């Protein structure tokens, strides 16, 4: 059999392109603002993870520009060898202070954090317990490790408890969940997870990529939101959402972070994050601390859109975050709706199988602190029109 045969047999994209509704890899020719440009058309952006609107903040851009002028475009090596700059150290110290953790280690991408952390921590006598809606990077990181992994039903604590009870007591146990599930927009049942982990001697890791900057009184994420920061052993975050750059980090106890620093292949065999990105994140943290009103505006927008979308008849599931999906049914309907919405001046994202079960394709929307009520109301008009046109509502 030819290893490329599967490529010839892959037909979904060809079918969607033939239908004229292919909406992946769209070329945006402007910044990630509430309104973006696509092929000369101005479109309201309801598909960005720029939750606090800091990606285009003047101070963030100036910080990145200054780092670019000082250090150049890259580090020309790994952090382990020649690639650690003083700005990387400053970033990790700043993040540790902000997150109230002993230590932080940054990675070049958020995906690499989960790959690198899980693959190096999970040995032959360890078991990972994963929510079946965990991000792909968590699934892949667990696969790369030498330990076993078991999935439990989404946010189903009874299913998790049963799996924990059947696990040998001689094995190390690590529960890994998303803080905010990136497609559905719902949140992990952290209080229940904490209660379950203790009697089974399990550790808990939370991927809070979509929670940091958004949840908690100070923006430290889901653990702060629930008042359980001291109960989460490892907390992962990315720079590509609220923190306005590219990269990711893991934070926890110094001994654990130091072990990851020297044993994670994704860390020691990857080039260091670009200095401009590190400087941008430092400035973004400063703005988050001094401007809590950004988070307040984001939640006002989130509550408004959740209420209005449900009022129109959309099924938004259990979303409890600025990620608000709308169930539409089959994959082709999702592509068609996203294409029509773009024609009406609104950018959204199609979520199809295998990211969701067959028949449960959805339109994913996400919101920014910088959206105005005019942006939202114009979007609702388009969503109502297209939703009725396609029989979704």
Could you write out the DSSP letters of every residue in 14-35?
HHHHHTT---SS--B-S-SSSE
Rounded-to-integer distance, Cα 215 and Cα 317, Å: 19
pLDDT averaged over every residue in the chain = 97
Weakest-pLDDT range from 213-217, 268-272, 355-359, 375-379:
355-359
Share of the chain above pLDDT 90, in %: 97
The pLDDT value recorded for residue 197 is 93
Rounded-to-integer distance, Cα 192 and Cα 274, Å: 39
The pLDDT value recorded for residue 260 is 98
Please give the DSSP secondary-structure letter assigned to residue 240. S
Judge whether 307 counts as a catalytic residue.
Answer: no
Rounded-to-integer distance, Cα 370 and Cα 24, Å: 25
Active-site pick, 57, 88, 173, 210:
210
In CATH terms, are 11-45+292-389 and 58-290 the same topology? Answer: no
CATH fold of 58-290, please? 3.40.640
In terms of Cβ atoms closer than 10 Å to its own Cβ (0-12, 13-18, 19+), residue 179 is buried
Q: What pLDDT digit, counting tens, does each position of 4-56 carry?
A: 999 999 998 999 999 999 999 999 999 999 999 999 999 999 999 999 999 99
Domain boundaries, the chain: 11-45+292-389, 58-290
Judge whether 264 counts as a catalytic residue.
Answer: no
**With bands split at pLDDT 50, 70 and 90, how would you rate the model's confidence at 187?**
very high
Whether residue 120 contacts residue 145, with contact meaning beta carbons closer than 8 Å, is answered with yes
**Alpha helix segments (H runs only) across 4-156:** 5-9, 12-18, 58-71, 86-99, 110-121, 136-144
The pLDDT value recorded for residue 346 is 98
Q: What is the pLDDT averaged over residues 91-114? A: 98
The pLDDT value recorded for residue 26 is 97
Share of the chain above pLDDT 70, in %: 100
Q: In this structure, what are the phi and psi dihedrals at residue 314, rounded to the nearest 5 degrees? A: -75, 145
**With bands split at pLDDT 50, 70 and 90, how would you rate the model's confidence at 354?**
confident
pLDDT at 358 over 90: no
Taking phi first (over 0 means left), then psi (-120 to 50 degrees means alpha), and beta for anything else, what does residue 206 get? beta
Q: So what CATH class is 11-45+292-389?
A: alpha beta
pLDDT at 235 over 90: yes
Rounded-to-integer distance, Cα 85 and Cα 14, Å: 46
Whether residue 33 contacts residue 370, with contact meaning beta carbons closer than 8 Å, is answered with yes
Residue 325: C-alpha distances to residues 171, 186, 352 (Å): 38, 10, 12
Whether residue 127 contacts residue 149, with contact meaning beta carbons closer than 8 Å, is answered with yes
β-bridge partners, 361: 329
β-bridge partners, 324: 365
The pLDDT value recorded for residue 357 is 83
Rounded-to-integer distance, Cα 194 and Cα 126, Å: 19
**With bands split at pLDDT 50, 70 and 90, how would you rate the model's confidence at 356?**
confident
- CA angle centred on 34, ends 30 and 52, rounded to 5°: 110
pLDDT at 165 over 90: yes
Please give the DSSP secondary-structure letter assigned to residue 273. P
Give the global pTM.
0.96
Active-site pick, 106, 137, 149, 182:
182
Q: What is the pLDDT averaged over residues 265-291? A: 97
Active-site pick, 88, 163, 241, 375:
241
Judge whether 241 counts as a catalytic residue.
Answer: yes
**Alpha helix segments (H runs only) across the chain:** 5-9, 12-18, 58-71, 86-99, 110-121, 136-144, 157-166, 190-197, 222-226, 254-263, 265-268, 275-290, 293-312, 331-343, 373-389
């Amino acid at each position: 059999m030819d290893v490329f045969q599967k490529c010839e047999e892959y037909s979904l994209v060809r079918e969607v392109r033939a239908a004229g509704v292919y909406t992946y890899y769209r070329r945006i020719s402007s910044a990630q603002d509430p309104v973006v440009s696509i092929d000369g058309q101005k479109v309201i952006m309801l598909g960005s993870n720029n939750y606090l609107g800091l990606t285009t903040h003047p101070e963030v851009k100036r910080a990145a520009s200054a780092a670019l002028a000082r250090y150049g475009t890259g580090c020309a090596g790994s952090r382990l060898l020649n690639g650690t700059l003083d700005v990387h150290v400053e970033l990790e110290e700043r993040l540790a202070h902000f997150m109230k953790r002993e230590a932080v280690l940054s990675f070049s991408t958020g995906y690499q954090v989960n790959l690198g952390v899980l693959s190096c921590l999970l040995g032959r006598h360890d078991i990972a317990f994963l929510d079946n809606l965990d991000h792909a990077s968590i699934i892949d990181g667990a696969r790369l490790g030498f330990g076993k992994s078991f999935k439990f039903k989404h946010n189903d604590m009874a299913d998790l408890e049963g799996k924990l009870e059947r696990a040998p007591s001689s094995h190390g146990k690590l529960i890994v969940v998303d803080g905010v599930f990136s497609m559905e927009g719902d949140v992990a049942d952290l209080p229940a997870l904490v209660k379950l982990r203790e009697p089974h001697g399990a550790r808990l890791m939370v991927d809070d990529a979509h929670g940091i900057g958004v949840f908690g009184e100070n923006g430290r994420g889901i653990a702060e939101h629930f008042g359980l920061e001291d109960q989460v052993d490892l907390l992962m975050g990315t720079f590509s959402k609220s923190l306005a750059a590219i990269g990711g980090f893991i934070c926890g106890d110094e001994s654990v972070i130091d072990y990851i620093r020297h044993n994670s292949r994704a860390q020691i065999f990857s080039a260091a994050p670009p200095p401009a990105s590190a400087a941008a994140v430092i400035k973004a943290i400063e703005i988050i601390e001094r401007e809590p009103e950004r988070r307040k505006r984001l939640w006002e927008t989130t509550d408004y859109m959740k209420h209005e979308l449900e009022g129109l008849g959309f099924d938004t599931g259990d979303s409890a975050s600025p990620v608000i999906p709308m169930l539409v049914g089959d994959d082709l309907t999702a592509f068609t709706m996203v294409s029509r919405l773009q024609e009406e001046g609104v950018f959204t994202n199609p979520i199809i199988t295998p990211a969701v079960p067959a028949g449960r394709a959805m339109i994913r929307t996400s919101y920014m602190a910088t959206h105005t009520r005019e942006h939202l109301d114009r979007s609702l008009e388009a969503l109502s029109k297209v939703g009725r046109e396609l029989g979704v509502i």
